[in-house]
Amino acid sequence: MNSTSTTTQNFEVHDQKVLNWAKEIIENSSSPRLIQKEIVDAVDRNAIWRGQECLNLLAPEAPTSPTVRQLLASEVGTRAAEGHIGPTQRWFSGTKYIDEIESLCVELLKKVFNCNYADHRLVASMIGNMTVYAALTKPGDNILTIAQPLGGHSSNRYDGPAGIRGLNIFDVPMDPVDLVVDIDEFAKAAREVRPTLVTLGASMTLFPFPLKEMSEIVSEWGGKIFFDGAHQLGLIGGGQFQDPLNEGACIMTGSAGKTFSGPQSGIIVWNDPNLTQPVCDTIFPALAATHQVNRVAALAASAAEFLAFGKEYMAQIVANSKALAKALHDRGITVLGAHKGFTETHQVIVDVKKFGGGLDIAHKLAKANIITNKNLIPSDKPDDWDYPSGLRIGTIEITRLGMKEAEMDIIADYIVRVLEDQEPVESVRKRVIEMRTAYQKIHYCFD
Ligand SMILES: *Cc1c(COP(=O)(O)O)cnc(C)c1O
């Protein structure tokens, strides 16, 4: 034990101070039962603070409905099920009800996304992206993906699944002001590199992509478009964004826990039967075995909510982000995309460089119970990762709590009070708690 602790002591990716806090609790507790209580207490502290007292404006977060939460804790989550749906393609017996849950999930996803195929077994969208790279590319292939300062995500870069697959990664040319693909530059870059796959995956996402034009260009050499719709998945399902599978993308992945507002999961959908074997062979047995049937049940339940409320809910999310962006802009804050109506999604991107940058501002806002995240923006370099200039704000949670355009004005006011030091954060925090107290119910669900 001593030898391992001395060798591992030298390197730790996690913050040592926080780990030491936990170590101390574990070592000083008189019984494991009390240690378990510490865990439950931390969960409860979070539920009160983040669940009841904060304005959660994190773009990748969504509150799930009571039914979805209940299903996540259900008995079926202790059952093992791997393989494909049906009596012959599973390893375990006793799965007749599990087959019902899983098939309802698959058919509901097909209906929401209006597509021929959907898979429910991916625990995260990262795994969905790994699935696409494993199924549709070979090591050494060229691909084009979006660089991080322009909205791209690590899963499609060298440090993520695309890098693990051994792909050569080139940038999708983006216009840094209009925040869309520069189609002329794209045509040039793509014709030179002739990528097997062009991935459109954006964590910072304000406007649609010229998918039709892009897919026509890559079809010259049989290239394909992969739409990583992690963020926009719900907007797409609710008909409030472009429809990638209909506009030229051959496959789409997405995070069920972002705009889709279900349990954190990966979703993958496609139309071409020729993709079914390579994609499903990669999912099982390569990237998923026991695939958490409680999560699948919760995903199916959230897809049912989506059929009933998706359109109205997603339209209000976009209306709220437009209203919030305009309210910030009207108060003199630099909001990206101002010349194009700010945003067509759940996101608002703000340049906070002059207030000290994204890291400091996100922490300062969190002290006022306003939760956002630091974000790279086009004026940053990839190396500015720790200290970027931008702030990303999302309207999913506040919308599901029932807030509308009028509340966006109040929230913009609170944000500006903090940014411009008009009022101590403690005092803004009191206002936030008071406002949030009136919004505790989850809307757009059957509960
Ligand atoms: C969030 C995100 C992912 C990863 O999704 P998870 O469900 O968290 O694994 C992949 N791609 C993009 C563009 C994202 O924003």
Quick check: bond before 285 cis, omega within 30? Answer: yes
The verdict on domain 310-436 having CATH code 2.30.40.10 is no
CA of 122 to the centre of ligand 1 (A): 12
Instruction: Give per-residue pLDDT as tens, 356-394.
Output: 999 999 999 999 999 999 999 999 988 898 999 999 999
The Å distance, Cα 263 to ligand 1 centre, comes to 14
Distance 10 CA to ligand 1 centre (A): 31
pTM of structure: 0.96
DSSP secondary-structure letter at 76?
Answer: G
For the chain, give every residue range classified as CATH 3.40.640.10: 68-304
Q: Is the pLDDT of residue 416 over 80?
A: yes
CA dihedral 337, 340, 345, 349 (to 10 degrees): 10
Pocket-testing residue among 58, 119, 125, 241, ligand 1, by greatest number of atoms within 8 A of Cβ: 125
What residues contact 385, with CB distance under 8 A and at least 6 apart? 148, 376
- The CB density around residue 333, as the number of other CB atoms within 10 Å, is 22
Q: Please, is 45 exposed, middle or buried when counting C-beta atoms within 10 Å of its C-beta (0-12, 13-18, 19+)?
A: exposed
Lowest-pLDDT choice from 212-216, 301-305, 310-314, 384-388: 384-388
For 60-118, write each residue's pLDDT tens digit. Answer: 999 999 999 999 999 999 999 999 999 999 989 999 999 999 999 999 999 999 999 99
| Domain 68-304 is found in CATH 3.40.640.10 | yes
Question: Residue of the nearest CA to atom 6 in ligand 1?
Answer: 125
For 340, the token pair is 């194009």
Classified as helix, coil or strand, 404 is coil
In the chain, CATH 3.90.1150.10 sits at 310-436
Q: Is the pLDDT of residue 9 over 80?
A: no
Q: What is the mean pLDDT of residues 249-255?
A: 98
- In 387-415, which positions are buried (b, 16+ CB within 10 angstroms) versus exposed (e)? ebbbbbbbbbbbbbbebeeebbeebbebb
Which amino acid is present at 213?
E
* pLDDT of 437 strictly over 50: yes
Q: State both tokens at 207.
A: 């406007």
Q: Compute CA distances 16 → 10, 23, 232, whole Å.
A: 11, 10, 36
What is the position in ligand 1's atom list of the atom closest to the CA of 201? 13
- Best substitution site from 148, 153, 199 to test ligand 1's pocket, by max atoms within 8 Å of Cβ? 153
143, 197 Cβ separation under 8 angstroms: yes
* Ligand 1 binding residues, C-beta < 6 A: 60, 124-126, 129, 153, 155, 201-203, 228, 230-231, 255, 266
Euclidean distance between CA atoms 428 and 436, whole angstroms: 12
Pairing between strand 370-371 and 249-255?
unpaired
| Minimum CA distance residue for ligand 1 atom 15 | 203
**Do residues 236 and 242 lie in contact, with contact meaning Cβ atoms separated by under 8 Å?**
yes
Mean pLDDT along residues 151-158? 96
Q: How far is the CA of 13 from the centre of ligand 1 (A)?
A: 21
- Asked if residue 121 has pLDDT above 50, the reply is yes
**pLDDT at position 1, please?**
41
Which tokens go with 408? Answer: 């966006």
What is the spatial distance between Cα 218 and Cα 103, in angstroms, rounded to a whole number? 35
Nearest alpha carbon to residue 255 among 147, 155, 135: 155
DSSP 8-class letter at 387 = S
Q: Which pLDDT does position 278 carry in this prediction?
A: 98
Q: Is the pLDDT of residue 136 over 80?
A: yes
CA of 261 to the centre of ligand 1 (A): 14
CA 84 to chain CA centroid, Å, is 26
Residue 257, pLDDT > 80, answer yes
Q: What is the pLDDT of residue 440?
A: 97
Given this model, what pLDDT does residue 382 score? 81
